[in-house]
């Protein structure tokens, strides 16, 4: 359940920096910056995305402004799977997960 996010990867002029454009704003009009080693507080979609990306590993920093996500890879880090993490941000039930049902009469 949920809707996948459309993700377009764009190259940048800086080695190790990748930009992703998505089809929805996840910060409103504000900027958010996250660095490896600093706790990601909050429950907003942008906070959850930052946690997932850092849990993946290989990332030093993340900057998000509206629908643009900029990822600074760590030395030796790759872009493999980053687009999938972004695309699945709003997918709540994956394959094999039983979707809860509401009993009749409730």
Q: What is the pTM assigned to this prediction?
A: 0.85
Whether 41 and 47 have beta carbons less than 8 Å apart is answered as: yes
> Residue 20, exposed/middle/buried by CB under 10 A (0-12, 13-18, 19+)?
buried
- Looking up residue 67, the CATH number of its domain turns out to be 3.30.1370.70
Whether 89 and 45 have beta carbons less than 8 Å apart is answered as: yes
Residue 94 in any domain: the answer is no
Alpha carbons 26 and 69: distance in angstroms, whole number? 10
Alpha carbons 64 and 42: distance in angstroms, whole number? 15
Residue 97 in any domain: the answer is no
Which domain, by its residues, includes 13? 7-87
Q: Tell me: the pLDDT tens digits for 29-82? A: 889 999 999 999 999 999 999 999 999 999 999 999 999 999 999 999 999 999
């Amino acid at each position: 359940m949920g809707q996948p996010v459309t993700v377009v990867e764009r190259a940048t002029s800086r080695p190790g920096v990748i930009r992703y454009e998505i089809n929805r704003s996840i910060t409103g009009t504000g900027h958010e910056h996250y660095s490896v080693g600093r706790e990601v507080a909050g429950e907003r979609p942008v906070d959850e995305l930052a946690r997932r990306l850092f849990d993946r590993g290989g990332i030093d920093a993340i900057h998000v402004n509206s629908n643009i996500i900029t990822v600074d890879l760590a030395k030796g880090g790759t872009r493999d799977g980053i687009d999938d993490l972004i695309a699945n941000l709003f997918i709540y039930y994956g394959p094999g997960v039983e979707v809860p049902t509401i009993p009749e009469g409730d």
